[in-house]
Chain A
Amino acid sequence: MNINDCFNCRIRVENVNFYYAKSQALKNINLDMFNNNATAIIGPSGCGKSTFIRLLNRMNELIPNTNLEGKILLDGKDINAIDTDVVEIRQLVGMVFQKPNPFPKSIYNNLSYGLEVKGIKDKHLIEKRIIESLKKSVLWDEVKDRLHDNALRLSGGQQQRLCIARCLAVEPEVILFDEPCASLDPISTAKIEELIVELKKNYTIVIVTHNMQQAARVSDFTAFFLLGELIEFGTTEKIFTSPKNKKTEEYLTGRFG
């Protein structure tokens, strides 16, 4: 395969195997994720979705005794190469976790952290970015009068939107969502879905979800994982209307998983 072939391919995963200690969690995955598109990762619990998405910003490195084979290319560059700076990768590839995980700090400091880490010191710029990202994540109206309250006092849905804002504030180009709505009520879920649809105009989005309707609503491409293998990949429309693989069809129609 030639890198130049993928004209709007942002992330390319090539022959990836991944192991926790001795158990293999991902088997020979090949997958492209495209610019200004949302790619949904679906599949039953334990099939390796989180493992996969965490490879894309090198979060699995934090777990001892893991092993990665194969290549992951971001804009054609191997993110695991020795001369690649992991900090740079993570600034480019942001992540929103399954469970909201704001820092035990004020709302303001939650958002300013990523900017300070980047070396931005200009108070006005920090403030501007904070307001922008809170507006983008549809949280601004709810928190504008209490930016210095502790973030842990927000509701679960608000916390998750704060985490999204925190991720947006550092201006990544790719955003990984690992079941962002898992602990949210329908209203917050709808707000976040709206946001993702909006975000994909400017970002590359990868979203893990258990919710088929959600995948159908927000994504352009869908990848179906089963037991660590990528069973089928295609446009969301095609996967949902005429899946080629029998297992995909069975999963989508709710016969297992």
Chain B
Amino acid sequence: MNKIGKVKEFFIEKLIVICGSLSIIFVILIFIFLAREGLTFFKYESIKDFIFGRNWYPLSNPARFGVLPLILGSVMVTLGAMAISIPLGVACAFYIAEIVNPKMKDILKTGIELLAAIPSVVIGFVGMVTLVPMVKKIFHLPTGLTALSGSIMLAFMAMPTIVSIAEDAITAVPKRYKEAALALGATHWQAIYKVILVAAAPGIFAAIMLGIGRVIGETMAVMMITGNAAVIPHTLLEPVRTLTATIAAEMGEAIRGSNHYYALYAVGIILFIITFVINFIADIFLHRIKK
């Protein structure tokens, strides 16, 4: 019995090690592949023209691979989505955690978790038929397919993550902090604002980062809604095209081994760097808050 147990233990342990290392190996392989294909592009084109080029005409002759409009498109849509989803999401989390009655809280939480499960294509589609015409009408635009529409849609997709995780963080704040604050004569709002928010800050921050993660990686909904014009945007009310949407839209038609093909991998590298930098900053912040 004891021996069988030990053998079992041995195999389970090895299995876990294999699973763990496999996932790491895959990530490394993907990275190597991405780097190899992407860096090939720079054999033919200069990095400077790529990053600061203002025109993305992959199919014209000669082709132009300026990625700046795509970067700005991604940045604009993402910042817009953050500006909408962070304040709304955190406020909503506080509402559910602190204000609403327990019964309603259950209903709202379940509802929000359901929202998180809606596939992004569906959200994009709903946005296309409802939000896009609305934006067009409100701002009297020639088209409603704009960065703003994309931001609102992405905010909508980031919100369930932000609300749900931030709410957990707020609920996890020990009750004794709130009691201490109220016993000192603080109002409910003062307790929330100066004690609970501070105590829940690391968790809320993590919630925001995860929400942003979803926004940056999102492709489908953005492709359907932002108009896909690879021009440098000046306001939120113009069509834009993001890095992700570019890869998704053009990978199918790019001929393998062509400059266009390698350029899309180079776009992938840019995306990778952006995500890496954001995660890095988030890590620094988290460590600082923990201290």
| Cβ A114 vs Cβ B199 within 8 A | no
**Contact B183–A94 (Cβ < 8 Å):** yes
- Chain A residues, CB < 8 A from B102: 64
Q: A59 — which chain B residues lie within 8 A by C-beta? A: 179, 182-183
Which listed residue (B101, B182, B198) contacts A103, Cβ 8 A?
A: B198
Give Cα distance in the complex from A102 to B198, angstroms: 13
B184 and A101 within 8 A (CB): no
CB-nearest residue of chain A to B186: A117
Contact A104 B179 (CB under 8 A): no
Interface flag for B234 (CB, 8 Å) = no
Report Cα–Cα, A113/B190, bound state, in Å.
10
Let me know if B199 and A90 touch, CB within 8 A: no
A149 to chain B, nearest CB (A): 12
* Least distance between B84 CB and chain A CB atoms (Å): 30
**Interface code A95-109, partner B: CB below 8 Å = 1, 0 otherwise?**
101010111110000
Contact of B184 among A64, A99, A113 (CB under 8 A): A113
Among B102, B174, B177, B183, max chain A CB count under 10 A is at B183
Q: Would you call A104 and B199 a contact (CB within 8 A)?
A: yes
Q: Quick one: which of B155-186 are within 8 Å of A by CB?
A: 174, 176-186
The answer on a CB contact under 8 Å between A97 and B180 is yes
Query: Is the pair B180, A103 in contact by a Cβ cutoff of 8 Å?
Result: yes
**Chain A residues with Cβ under 8 A from B183's Cβ?**
57, 59, 90, 94-95, 97, 167
B177 near A113: Cβ-Cβ < 8 Å: no
Residues of A within 8 A of B174 (CB): 101
Closest beta carbon of chain A to B162's beta carbon, Å: 22
Give bound CA distance, A69 to B14, whole Å: 64
Q: Give chain B interface residues in 196-210, CB to chain A under 8 Å.
A: 198-199
Number of A interface residues at 8 Å Cβ cutoff, please give it: 26
Contact A104 B184 (CB under 8 A): no
Q: In the complex, what distance in Å separates the CA atom of A87 from the CA atom of B190?
A: 11
Bound CA–CA A97/B175 (angstroms): 12
Asked if B184 contacts A117 (CB within 8 A), the reply is yes
Establish whether residues A114 and B198, one from each chain, have CB atoms under 8 Å apart when the complex forms. Answer: no
A151-186 to B contact mask, C-beta < 8 Å, 1/0: 000000000000100110010000000000000000
Q: Given known contacts A103-B198, A105-B198, is B185 in contact with A118 (CB within 8 Å)?
A: yes
Q: Is the CB of B177 within 8 A of A166?
A: no
Contacts of A114 in B (CB 8 A): 184-186
Taking the closest CB of chain A, its distance from the CB of B76, in whole angstroms, is 37
Q: Is the CB of A103 within 8 A of B185?
A: no
A187 part of interface (Cβ distance < 8 Å): no
Residues of B within 8 A of A118 (CB): 185
Closest to B191 in A: A117
Q: Is the CB of B198 within 8 A of A104?
A: yes
CB of A62 within 8 Å of the partner chain: yes
Closest CB-CB distance, A178 to chain B, in whole Å? 10
Q: Chain A nearest CB: distance from B3 CB in Å?
A: 48
Q: Which residues of A contact B177 (CB under 8 A)?
A: 101, 103-104
Cα separation A174 to B47 with both chains bound (whole Å): 72
List B contacts of A64 (CB < 8 A): 101-102
> Are the C-beta atoms of B185 and A170 separated by less than 8 Å?
yes
A24 proximal to B (CB < 8 A): no
> In this complex, which of B174, B182, B184, B186 has the most chain A Cβ atoms within 10 angstroms of its Cβ?
B184
Tell whether B137 is near chain A: CB-to-CB under 8 Å: no
Q: Is B195 close to A, CB under 8 A? A: yes
Query: When the two chains form their complex, are residues A87 and B194 in contact, meaning their CB atoms are under 8 A apart?
Result: no
Is A91 positioned at the interface, with any CB of B under 8 Å from its CB?
Answer: yes
A147: min CB distance to chain B, Å: 18
Cβ contacts under 8 Å, A99 to chain B: 176
A103 pairs with B190, CB closer than 8 A: no
Q: Which residues of B contact A57 (CB under 8 A)?
A: 183
Beta-carbon contact of A90 and B185 below 8 Å: yes
B184 CB to nearest A CB, Å: 4
The reply to whether B179 and A62 form a contact with Cβ atoms under 8 Å apart is yes
Contact call B181/A113, Cβ cutoff below 8 A: yes
Interface string of A46-62 (1 = CB under 8 A from B): 00000000000101001
For this complex, 20 residue pairs linking A to B, each with C-beta atoms less than 8 Å apart, are A59-B183, A62-B178, A87-B186, A90-B183, A90-B184, A97-B179, A97-B180, A97-B183, A101-B180, A103-B181, A103-B195, A103-B198, A103-B199, A104-B177, A113-B195, A114-B184, A117-B194, A163-B180, A167-B184, A170-B184
Q: What is A's interface to B at a CB cutoff of 8 Å?
A: 57, 59, 62, 64, 87-88, 90-91, 94-95, 97, 99, 101-105, 113-114, 116-118, 163, 166-167, 170
Further contacts, 14 of them, CB under 8 A, given A62-B182, A101-B176, A118-B185: A59-B183, A62-B178, A62-B179, A91-B184, A91-B185, A94-B183, A94-B184, A97-B180, A105-B198, A117-B185, A117-B190, A163-B180, A166-B180, A166-B184
